[in-house]
């Protein structure tokens, strides 16, 4: 399956028995809003998975793992199976947050070895604007068996990033957050401002065009070409908590990069370690 599918593609296949549609709507700071929106109206047959309850582990007291810690693979596989997703399912995820929450599920399923997963372009808003059907009726979910084959090559741990910063490992770090947060000028969520030293800033929302739809593979490639990367260079992508980095991971894949990893704990995990260094401002202005 393609990483991105159109609303028309979903409309044409939504009643096929192996298709599972997942509503991932979620608003940071309003943890109940996504489920409430789902209960009010969603794609026919869609199930709901919550960013914090289903797609993240509980937050650790010391902050390790970040604000949305990576779930234990076995626990996540069990939750995926309980939602009616099997290894044979074709999964389509959508949200109303520019694809960030849906991309989180896309990446998690890839991490568990499930490639038949896509994000619906345009999200719920685009679906409704197209005049496609919605409902408040919730389908009865029949649990399925989902066996995970964890793809460790898709994940970067904090020690991998530490090695990059120390110069012991070759990789390019990409920070997906807003430029002002990257530069350390503002920090509305985490307790420390700034970025991981050496990281380049590529805002995740720039993966969509003015119409809100996903850019073409060629346009995605143009976003990253200034970094001077070969297609097989190792790239580690992060954001605040491992959510909005996933659209950039998907964009890099669309652009043809083959060695892309997610630092799942991201900035909120990085700053939980006292010895980790922090950079402020733009990288070209740094004086080490």
Handedness of CA 27, 38, 145, 246 (dihedral sign): negative
In our burial notation (b when 16+ CB lie closer than 10 A, e otherwise), range 18-54 reads eebbbbbbbbbeeeeebbebbeeebbeebbbbbbeeb
DSSP reduced 3-state for 154: helix
Candidates 4, 20, 83, 239; catalytic one: 239
Instruction: Report how far residue 280's alpha carbon sits from residue 259's, in angstroms, rounded to the nearest whole number.
Output: 27
Let me know: does 139 contact 45? Beta carbons within 8 Å. yes
Residue of 12, 6, 21 lying closest to 126 (CA atoms): 6
Q: Respond yes or no: is residue 239 known to be catalytic.
A: yes
DSSP 52-73: TTTSSPPPPTT-TT-SSPPPPH
Plot region of 123 (φ>0 → left; ψ -120 to 50 → alpha; else → beta): left
In our burial notation (b when 16+ CB lie closer than 10 A, e otherwise), range 255-286 reads bebebbbbbbbbbbbbbbeeebeebeeebeee
CA 282 to chain centre: 24
In our burial notation (b when 16+ CB lie closer than 10 A, e otherwise), range 224-239 reads beeeebeeeebbbbbb
CA–CA–CA angle 22, 27, 32 (5° rounding) = 80
Let me know: does 128 contact 3? Beta carbons within 8 Å. no
Positions marked catalytic: 239
């Amino acid at each position: 399956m393609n990483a991105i599918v159109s609303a028309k593609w979903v409309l044409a296949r939504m009643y096929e028995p192996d298709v599972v549609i997942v509503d991932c709507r979620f608003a940071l700071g309003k943890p109940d809003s996504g489920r409430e929106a789902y209960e009010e109206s969603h794609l026919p047959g869609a199930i709901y998975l919550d960013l914090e309850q289903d797609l993240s582990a509980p937050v650790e007291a010391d902050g390790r793992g970040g604000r949305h810690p990576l779930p234990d693979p076995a626990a996540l596989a069990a939750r995926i199976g309980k939602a009616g997703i099997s290894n044979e399912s074709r999964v389509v995820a959508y949200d109303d947050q520019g694809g960030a929450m849906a991309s989180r599920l896309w990446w998690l399923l890839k991490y568990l070895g499930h490639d038949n997963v896509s994000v619906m372009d345009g999200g719920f808003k685009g679906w409704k604007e197209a005049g496609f059907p919605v409902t408040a009726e919730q389908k009865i979910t029949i649990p399925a068996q989902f066996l995970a084959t964890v793809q460790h090559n898709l994940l970067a741990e904090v020690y991998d990033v530490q090695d990059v910063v120390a110069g012991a490992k070759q990789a390019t770090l990409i920070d997906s957050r807003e430029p002002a947060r990257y530069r350390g000028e503002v920090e509305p969520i985490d307790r420390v401002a700034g970025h991981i030293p050496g990281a380049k800033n590529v805002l995740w929302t720039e993966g969509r065009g003015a119409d809100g739809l996903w850019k073409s593979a060629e346009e995605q490639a143009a976003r990253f070409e200034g970094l001077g990367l070969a297609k097989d260079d190792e790239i580690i992508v992060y954001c605040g908590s491992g959510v909005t980095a996933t659209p950039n991971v998907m964009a890099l894949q669309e652009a043809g990069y083959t060695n892309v990893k997610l630092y799942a704990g991201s900035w909120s995990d990085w700053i939980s370690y006292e010895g980790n260094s922090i950079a402020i401002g733009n990288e070209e202005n740094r004086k080490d």
